[in-house]
Amino acid sequence: MWFKSTWTCLLYGLLFGQKVSAIDLQVDDEQSIKDAASQSIYGMMTWYHGNETGQIPGGFPDKWWEGAALSLALLNYWHFTGDDTYNDELSEALQFQGGPNGDYWTSNYSSFLGNDDQMFWGLAAIQAAESKLPDVSDGHSWLSLAQGVFNDQKNRWDTSKCGGGLRWQAFVYQSGYTMKNSVSNGGFFQLAARLYRYTGDSEYKDWAEKVWDWSASSVLMNNKTWVIADSANMDDNCKSPGNIQWTYNYGVYLGGAAYMYNKTSDDKWLTAVNGLLKTSFKQFFLAQHGGAMEEVTCEPSEQCNDNEILFKGLFSWWLAYTALLVPSTYDTILPKLETSIQAAAKSCTGLGNNTCGVRWYQSKFDGMNGMEQQISASNIFSSYLVKYEHSGKGPVTSTTGGDSKSNPNAGAESETDKDTPKPITTGDKAGAGILTVVMIGGWAGLMSFMFIGG
């Protein structure tokens, strides 16, 4: 659903035709871009209530993973602008959602605990460590939280069918439990790659290689065309891919390959980075729409749900970090980001207060407002600041200034205990995390799995 509420529709109608404010963004002015990022982040935080009395830090009813997306946007914003206005709320959210075992596995969200959902929280934790967000003195360190997620997910590596891989969902009662998808496996690959770069521990390298090689041998990733499929169903041993195209599927593999190349200088990873960039540029930056980034599967048809609106914002910061980690890609990535921030800025003219829309390529506010739109806009603005990245501000490691404490045994509670299903409430049935759409010939027609929430 595009409009958040009837109220929004009416308000937009009242404002339509009136002179609206706009984000004044100049691509050659660093402060101008920081100001644009600040405005969009402020708009994002108006939707966040986790810092209020009686509310849950980092939590959103029926869409748990979006707290991770919001945290990643705050980390990205702080890293590139230096503005720590929201760091207290950020630390509180990341720490609270870590759970008692320090692995983002909590009974509060038992029905939303997909492998992809947990993975996004793990990526937020490792990014906090890489950005030198100070560890909380009386809580879990950021590095240990990322390690806890890794330990959980390696224990869920499933060889019962398809030769390996993570299932999309973690519990048998969840829709998607019999599927293996790119974002879960690509995200696990990226997490392992980042932990390897940060710690130098060969276990993480071995797992990054393992997940990558399995993905390339499966229908999920074609390492000749560099097309990333969305998912595969275990019922036919993952023989038929669901080829719906989403930016974030490319982003998780691209980001992981960039981290691996930065650490190893192995041409295998440079080839992967270049291949994934070439295909994603072709898929998601269409000349007929001015070359601005778009979610081609749902934006033209006006069918994006909240999850999907977030995807290209996540992809934008993976592009930015790839430009940092693999300098040879900088000159190809920056023009794509530049076109997109110019279009995004023109979309942030809504409701008289610089509210941002979904379809950046229209270069105007499209009447579709919400927290997810603000998160994506803030990510593209912050990410373009890679153009002004100052020496030494890239992701740190344990040997280049990183000081988050390591706990290789984090998340030590047994998987049996963790995987005991909790009672399902009516609200629980609403979501299971990231949307996955499956189109496979021979199945019972077109099957679409759209879970809003988690």
Tokens representing 244 are 């719906």
pLDDT in tens, 20-36: 456 889 999 999 999 99
Half-sphere exposure of 197 (CA within 13 A, CB side): 26
To the nearest 10°, the Cα dihedral for 449, 169, 377, 360?
Answer: -30
CA distance 400 to 325: 14
pLDDT the model gives residue 452: 34
**Percent with pLDDT over 90 in the chain:** 80
One DSSP character per residue, 274-334 reads HHHHHHHHHHHB-GGGTT-B--TTTTTTT---HHHHHHHHHHHHHHHHHHHHSGGGHHHHH
Over the range 156-167, which residues count as b (16 or more CB within 10 Å of their CB) and which as e? bbeeebbebbbb
User: What is the per-residue DSSP string for 92-124?
Assistant: HHHHHTTTTTTSS--GGGGGG-BHHHHHHHHHH
**SS3 (DSSP) at 247:** helix
Domains of the chain, residue spans: 6-404+425-449
Rounded to whole angstroms, the Cα distance separating 10 from 98 reads: 39
Residue 380: which H helix or E strand, with range?
Answer: helix 371-384
3-state helix, strand and coil shares in percent for the chain, rounded to the nearest 5: 50, 5, 45
Residue 4 gets the label, from left (phi > 0), alpha (psi -120 to 50) or beta, of: alpha
Q: Which residues of the chain have a pLDDT value below 70?
A: 1-22, 107-111, 390-392, 412-454
- Decide: 357 and 340 in contact? Cβ < 8 Å: no
Place of tokens 């707290």: 67
pLDDT in tens, 142-201: 999 999 999 999 999 999 999 999 999 988 988 899 999 999 999 999 999 999 999 999
Say what the pLDDT of residue 389 is. Answer: 85
Architecture per CATH, domain 6-404+425-449, reads as Alpha/alpha barrel (1.50)
